[in-house]
Structure 1
Amino acid sequence: MTMRRRTVLAGLSASGAALTRTTAEAGSVPRARNVVLVHGAYADGSSWADVIGLLQREGLKVASVQNPLTSLADDVAATRRVLALQDGPTVLAAHSWGGTVISEAGMDPKVSALVYVAARAPDANEDYAALAKRFPTPPANAGLVYSGGFGQLSEEAFLRDFAGGVDPARAQVLYAVQGRISDELFSGKTTVAAWRSKPCWYAVSRQDRTTAPELERFLAERMKAKTIELNSSHLSLVTQPQAIANLILEAAGLRG
């Protein structure tokens, strides 16, 4: 294969995803037997529940990190503790804010591939807030309310902008377990960008009202990720778990 970057557009798949492959170099990823999942802000590890079951059916060992959401350093430490328990090549996957975490923690030698789901992907020492301002402001921003040093989305913003398309009863459960974020969480900067040296996959949410889809596309393009686009809200891991599971399985070397 040529070392020159190329993009192939493949129509809609059975999962409803338009697939865009951006390949920086030839070669295949190591086959992984472990997956570590990292949740984002306004969520907890249970947000991955549907994806977890699908991955376990394929024989993968899966662990979901519970981020304290108190600082970038604390979330990275929580992820590293889980990575330390893995016994070989591991796919590290993240949703939303979790993308910042895996961009730092992903340098672990056990990490064979990175998967970003509507996720942040800052460069080393990058001012991510300044980068995000170059793209449309997502509606969810207006629903973030802080009290006592921690913030959460209002119920209206959570159900409409964060969990759009999720079954209403399920969305209410997700709202009840919403992770509260420190008012210092988003100010943390990564010291490295693991996506510069690890194979990457990215799932863009076309109907995202929490992170601008245009920003997601920019991040996926910058990291030269193999990319899918889903007609989904920010929570594609809940509304389209099979598509997300398939992406992780590809990163694990279990799908072509």
Structure 2
Amino acid sequence: MTNLRTLLLSGSVALGTMMSLPGMAAAEVHNIVLVHGGNVDGSTWRGVYDRLIAQDYDVTITQLPMTSVEDDVAAVQRSLDVQDGPVLLVGHSYGGVVITEAGIDPDVKGLVYVTAFQPDIGESGGDLLASAGSDFTADKLSITDDGFLLVDDDAFLALAGNGLSEEDALFVARSQAWANAENLAHKVTSAAWQDKPSWMTVATEDLLISPELQRRMAERAGSTVIEIGNGHMLPMTSPDEVAEVIAQAAEAVN
């Protein structure tokens, strides 16, 4: 795609530069809805949330039931329905599947994928993982008789937890929410990024959704790409950089 751009963030220096830009907090898109990844909850966004509200953005974090992708899209739609104007929609990991469908709402003006799935119509998160030869395989999961899953502690620490302290990674692993195993097989029926601007933060040390897959999805979508040197849990490990990308996207879609 000719409109693909790749940026490298430089941590606090870049953040300080962006915070000094005049009119940043007066952006027309001041509503931001954050969508968390699979098996975790909205608390993973706390660091990013704190930084965005410090810039006077109105931030809503949707808690996904994870009982089905349809239920998760409906939860995001409820969050969108209560906004008072245009919205930037942001998804982490599995949340990328959800915002790809929920983002067709006309109030959504742009989408930010944070080391996330960015599927096309007819694709699933599982399809995308399989296309890149991921280590995130069924033997890493505990699945109940009624079809809900958790990621095993050791696999969570190895694949998702790099960049977190061992204590934080273990806490997130042991506070997982059960997710419907079918969510990874759900084939999306609409792709909001086809008609709206999008951004992808590539986690260059991601061991769950490979950086190569993230780049490939973003290139196909014509997304602006920002590479951040950390692991899969970017909202927790790199909140400065992630908040910066989100704020830049909110400014750009005006």
- Report the Cα distance in structure 2 between the residues aligned to 1:183 and 1:136, rounded to whole angstroms: 19
- In 2, the alpha carbon distance for the partners of 1:31 and 1:138 equals 41
Gap change, CA 1:237 and 1:128, over 3 Å in 2:
closer
| Residue in structure 2 matched with residue 21 of structure 1 by the alignment | none
Number of aligned residue pairs: 241
Distance 1:92-1:9 versus aligned 2 partners, 3 A rule: closer
1:22 aligned partner: none
Show CA shifts across 1:110-161 (max 9, x none): 1111000111111112255334322132356642221232111111111221
The one of 79, 96, 99 equivalent to 1:99 is 96
Q: Which runs of 5+ in 2 are unaligned?
A: 15-26
Cα 1:106–1:12, aligned 2, differ >3 Å: closer, same or farther? closer
1:225 equivalenced with 2:223 (yes/no): yes
Q: Deviations over 1:55-114 (max 9, x none)?
A: 000001111111111111000000001111110011100000110100000011111110
Q: Is the 8 A contact 1:114 1:200 kept in 2?
A: yes
CA RMSD of aligned residues (A): 2.3
Moved over 6 A (4+): none
Percent identity of the aligned residues? 37
Query: For structure 1, which segment, 71-80 or 121-130, has the greater mean C-alpha deviation from structure 2 after superposition?
Result: 121-130
Structure with a larger share of its residues in strand: 1
- Determine the structure 2 residue equivalent to 1:67: 64
AA of the residue aligned to 2:69: L
Q: Which residue of 1 aligns with 2:159?
A: 161
- 8 Å contact from structure 1 (residues 140, 161) kept in 2: no
1:112 is matched with: 109
- State the match for 1:209 in structure 2: 207
Residue of 246, 251, 254 corresponding to 1:253: 251
Letter in 2 for 1:159: L
Letter in 2 for 1:168: E
- Superposition pairs for residues 171-250 of structure 1, below 5 Å? 171-250=169-248
Deviations 1:230-250 (A, max 9, x none): 111100111100110001001
2 CA distance for matches of 1:56 and 1:11?
A: 24
- Structure 1 stretches lacking a partner, 5+ long: 18-29
The answer for the alignment partner of 2:36 in structure 1 is 39
Deviates more, 1:183-192 or 1:135-144: 135-144
- 2: CA distance, partners of 1:93 / 1:207: 20
Q: Which moved more, 1:235-244 or 1:159-168?
A: 159-168
